[in-house]
Amino acid sequence: MNFDSPYNPKETEDKIYQLWEKSGFFNPDNLLKRKKRSFTIVVPPPNITGSLHMGHALNATIQDILIRKKRMEGYKTLWLPGTDHAGIATQNIVERELKKQGLPRHDLGREKFLEKIWEWKEKYGSIILEQFKKLGSSMDWSRTRFTMDADYQEAVKEAFLHYYKRGWIYRAKRVINWCPKDATSLSDLELGYKEEQTTLWHIKYPLAEKSKFIIVATTRPETMLGDTAIAVNPKDNRYKNLIGEEVILPIKNRKIPIIGDRAVDMNFGTGAVKVTPAHDITDAEIGNRHNLEFKEVIDSRGRMTAEAGKICEGLKTTEYRIKIIEELKSQNLIVKEEPYKHNVAVCYRCDSTIEPIPSLQWFLKMDKLAKIATQAVKSGKVKFHPKRWEKTYFSWLKNVRDWTISRQIWWGHKIPLDGENDILDTWFSSALWPFATLGWPKKTAGMKNFYPTNVLSTARDIINLWVSRMIFSGLEFTNKTPFSDVIIHGTILTKDGKRMSKSLGTGIDPILLIDKYGADALRFGLIWQSLGNQDIHWSEEHVLAGKKFCNKIWNATRFVLLNKPPQINADKLRRLTQKNKNLTAVDKKILNGLKKTTQEVNNLINKYEFGHALHKLYDFFWHEYADIYIETAKKQLADNKLKSSTQNILLKVHTDLLKLLHPFLPFITEEIWSAFNKKNLLLIENWPD
């Protein structure tokens, strides 16, 4: 290697990664002679539809820092990679590609369509895993798993039948979230929300026995033909005397009751709301409490049904909204129209507006499982970092509904009962990830040696979608928590604080940054900005700073190599630094600084404060070591009495810093290490103490 030229990551990174893979040390089976126990992380499995984005890059870097440090500390480390089949997302993208070829899914048929998905998976499904390698991720690729592997499918089947036999899985017709575009049910957690500027209509409902009206406020007049009650809060003095009365439902001209229910918000609109039990989940709960009739006026295509009447049958809900407002105005029943801004539920995959409709689905009872998951965190068996995210976790579990686990799609795990064609929710299978990837339900060596896993690192938006479900699944099926620590890392936002979006052109491709600056520089930029687990307002300037830091390390290495002692004696180095005899004040200061920095970096990484650890290393290397000690060492090397000790101190400090920096900047540190030590990879060198 040529230290006279600036560090060039393009000449280094692919070569170094191949060296690591060839060594076999990503595989813990080659570390079994180690006395320390195992340390395991399972990667949050990215979708096979995906490519590396900045969130993936940050999360992978965090996990790699932990794995590399533990490997150097002597643990049998396993970082298990894999991908998720991502039912709806994958079906959508493949269906879209086939349509371009004039091959609609239903024309192909289920079997042929699934063949096309497998072909797509083989061609594109591992792109993100290859991109993880570009980032330097030291995963055990020999254990790569996929949620549709044959043995993983057996694990999903085992889990379903276990719940079914316990009576926790049942089938029922209930109001669920329905995506008309994807033609499938969705759970509450699979909904996205987008702000919509709409109108709040105030509509008169005539009282049946009096020539008066009760005024109802709604943003969805198109559902009113399915109303079976008007609800008010029983504490609302404005309407107390009307509870038990009846009103005439406009247009349909049928009587419906006025009921009292505490779920009604007295401050919304007029304080009186229409109740359409078949087309609103909250209304459905009110309907069940009051024995109301469920009238289905919207179908699975998002169109009005025959039940709604000839005035609107077959129309899209958006079309009928216009028509019903015109009709209500013609009957002088619209009292007021006011602009209203609210969040509309949309499909998290295709962004289509959700229609709540009654549907026959499979559900998993959540009452006991929620208690299991809650207790795991309250008891301290699972800890969140930062702790504040426990609130999000507990809040969902406290109010959780039974989980709609069936999906009306073709790609995924079929419900394992005779005559069933529905597919299980993707999150049902990924809830088994920490142990199904290790061979459960079989008693495998993987389960014995590497389960429970130790740390999960993930984003806050899947605390309830995934983390909570893994926790109760792990306890239910293995009687152990699947991990002990959950790191919730910050979200990477644009510089002005908005969410990154490829479709809006605000997303950043980390592979382009690697090509421009190198993987170490990108890792530096990601972790440098990760302070206190707050969201990151992304700045490429910090990646450039990472590149400059790599060059600083490279240049300092050149000086140390030029002044390397003739013979390197590890014991002599240790004695020298421990006894501190015949050392100058500057020598003692740098050695004490190294000891202090080593302790601080250890403590910070152990507390998952990666950004602060990197700041400590950067400041010590650049300012105390390179700027001060190396400059002083140049003078001491000219003094024959100080030359030998100065050479040894330079070597000691430099090599220890390479070790401390390795989890953060693995490529450049490994490349430099080979100039000092031709025998061992830095990958498995001892961590400084």
Pair of tokens at residue 385:
């970092």
Q: What is the DSSP letter of 13?
A: H
**Selected residue with higher pLDDT from 50 and 255:** 255
Q: Which of the residue ranges 33-47, 439-453, 601-615 would you say has the lowest mean pLDDT?
A: 33-47
* Chain centroid offset of residue 305 CA: 39
Average pLDDT over every residue of 45-64: 94
Instruction: List, for residues 514-571, the tens digit of each pLDDT value.
Output: 999 999 999 999 999 998 768 889 999 999 999 999 999 999 999 999 998 876 666 6
Q: Report the alpha-carbon distance of residue 150 to residue 154 in Å, rounded.
A: 7
- Whether the pLDDT of residue 24 is over 90: the answer is yes
Owner of token pair 């930029």: 525
Q: Report the alpha-carbon distance of residue 533 to residue 537 in Å, rounded.
A: 12
**Cα Rg, the chain, nearest whole Å:** 31
Percent of the chain surpassing pLDDT 70 = 98
Q: Report the alpha-carbon distance of residue 405 to residue 578 in Å, rounded.
A: 62
Q: What is the pLDDT of residue 189?
A: 81
pLDDT band of residue 236 (cuts 50, 70, 90) is very high
Quick one: which of 684, 629, 679, 681 has its CA closest to 654?
629
pLDDT band of residue 398 (cuts 50, 70, 90) is very high
pLDDT band of residue 485 (cuts 50, 70, 90) is very high
Q: Which of the residue ranges 36-40, 112-116, 440-444 would you say has the lowest mean pLDDT?
A: 36-40
Q: Report the alpha-carbon distance of residue 133 to residue 79 in Å, rounded.
A: 13
Helices (H), 125-252: 127-135, 150-165
* Contact call for residues 203 and 218 (beta carbons, < 8 A): yes
Instruction: List, for residues 107-154, the tens digit of each pLDDT value.
Output: 999 999 999 999 999 999 999 999 999 999 999 999 999 999 999 999
Residues 384, 390, 392, 397, CA torsion sign: positive
Which own/partner pairs from 149-152 qualify as long-range (CB within 8 Å, at least 24 positions apart)?
Answer: 151/439, 151/442, 152/429, 152/432, 152/436, 152/437
Q: What is the pLDDT of residue 532?
A: 73
The two domains 186-347 and 510-530+539-684 share their CATH topology (first three levels equal): no
Mean confidence (pLDDT) of the chain? 93
Average pLDDT over every residue of 465-488: 97
Quick one: which of 289, 290, 298 has its CA closest to 359?
298
H or E, element range at 86: none
Q: What is the pLDDT of residue 678?
A: 74
Q: What is the pLDDT of residue 459?
A: 93
Pair of tokens at residue 10:
């393009």
* Contact call for residues 616 and 657 (beta carbons, < 8 A): no
User: What is the three-class DSSP state of 49?
Assistant: coil
Instruction: List, for residues 644-688, the tens digit of each pLDDT value.
Output: 899 999 999 999 999 999 999 999 999 999 998 878 899 999 999
CATH superfamily name and code, 186-347: Valyl/Leucyl/Isoleucyl-tRNA synthetase, editing domain (3.90.740.10)
Q: Which of the residue ranges 145-154, 177-186, 632-641, 668-677 would you say has the lowest mean pLDDT?
A: 177-186
- Whether the pLDDT of residue 188 is over 70: the answer is yes
Q: Report the alpha-carbon distance of residue 230 to residue 213 in Å, rounded.
A: 12
**Residues making up the chain, counted from first to last:** 689
Q: Report the alpha-carbon distance of residue 364 to residue 172 in Å, rounded.
A: 11
Average pLDDT over every residue of 360-371: 97
The pTM score is 0.92
Strands 145-146 and 82-83: parallel
Q: What is the pLDDT of residue 1?
A: 76
Peptide bond into 46 cis (omega under 30): no
Q: Report the alpha-carbon distance of residue 80 to residue 137 in Å, rounded.
A: 11
Architecture of domain 510-530+539-684: Orthogonal Bundle (1.10)
Helices (H), 352-403: 367-378, 390-398
Q: Report the alpha-carbon distance of residue 153 to residue 428 in Å, rounded.
A: 11
Q: What are the boundaries of each domain within the chain?
A: 34-163+376-403+422-489, 186-347, 510-530+539-684
Q: Report the alpha-carbon distance of residue 407 to residue 417 in Å, rounded.
A: 14
User: What is the three-class DSSP state of 487?
Assistant: strand
| DSSP line for 415-426 | PSSTT---EE-H
Instruction: List, for residues 561-606, the tens digit of each pLDDT value.
Output: 999 887 666 666 666 666 656 799 999 999 999 999 999 999 999 9
Give me the amino acid identity at 206. Answer: P
> The domain 34-163+376-403+422-489 is classified under which CATH number: 1.10.1750.10, 3.50.50.60, 3.40.50.620, 3.20.20.80?
3.40.50.620
Phi, psi of 344 (to 5 degrees): -105, 135
